[in-house]
Amino acid sequence: MKKIVLVLLFCSAVSFAQQDAQFTQYMHNTININPAYAGSRGVMSVFGLYRTQWVGLDGAPETGTLSLNTPVNNNVGLGFSVINDKIGPTNETNFAVDFSYSIPTSATTKLSFGIKGSANIFNLDPNKLNPEDQGDPQFSDFKNKFSPNVGAGVYYHSDRGYIGLSVPNFIETNRYDDNETAIFKEQINYYLIAGYVFNLDRYEMIKFKPAVLAKMIEGSPLQVDASANFMYNDKFVLGVSYRWSAALSAMAGFQVTKSMYIGYAYDRETTKLNNYNSGSHEIFLRFEFLNNYSRITSPRFF
- pLDDT reported for residue 119: 95
State the average pLDDT over residues 208-213: 96
Name the architecture of domain 16-289: Beta Barrel (2.40)
Of the candidates 114, 147, 142, 111, the residue with the CA atom closest to the CA atom of residue 128: 142
> What is the rounded distance in angstroms from the CA atom of residue 235 to the CA atom of residue 181?
52
Helix (H) or strand (E) holding 212: strand 206-217
Give per-residue pLDDT as tens, 148-157: 999 999 999 9
Domain ranges of the chain: 16-289
The pLDDT assigned to 175 comes to 56
Q: How many CA atoms lie within 13 A of 224 on its CB side?
A: 6
- CA R_g for the chain: 20
Tell me what pLDDT residue 242 has. 97
Residue 135 binned pLDDT confidence (cut-offs 50, 70, 90): low
Look up the pTM and report it.
0.87
* Per-residue pLDDT band at 293 (split at 50, 70, 90): low
In this prediction, residue 23 carries a pLDDT of 94
251 contacts 282 by C-beta, under 8 angstroms: no
| Cα distances (Å, whole numbers) of residue 55 to 139, 235, 273 | 27, 30, 11
Give me the chain's average pLDDT, please: 86
Which pLDDT does position 182 carry in this prediction? 54
Asked whether the predicted pLDDT for residue 238 surpasses 90, the reply is yes
pLDDT computed for residue 11 by the predictor:
36
Which residues, at least 6 apart from 203, have a Cβ–Cβ distance to it below 8 Å? none
Note whether 155 and 34 are within 8 A (CB): yes
pLDDT of residue 244: 93
How far is C-alpha 86 from the chain's CA centre? 14
Work out the average pLDDT over 197-209. 92
Residue 17 contacts by C-beta under 8 Å, 6 or more apart in sequence? Answer: 185, 187, 217, 219, 220
**pLDDT tens-digit profile of 7-44?**
433 333 334 445 678 899 999 999 999 999 999 999 99
Q: Give 265's strand partners.
A: 251, 282
pLDDT of res. 14: 35
CA distance 169 to 189: 7
Pairing of strands 247-255, 44-52: unpaired
Q: How confident is the model at residue 187 (pLDDT cuts 50, 70, 90)?
A: confident
Res 173: pLDDT: 73
Provide the pLDDT for residue 285.
98
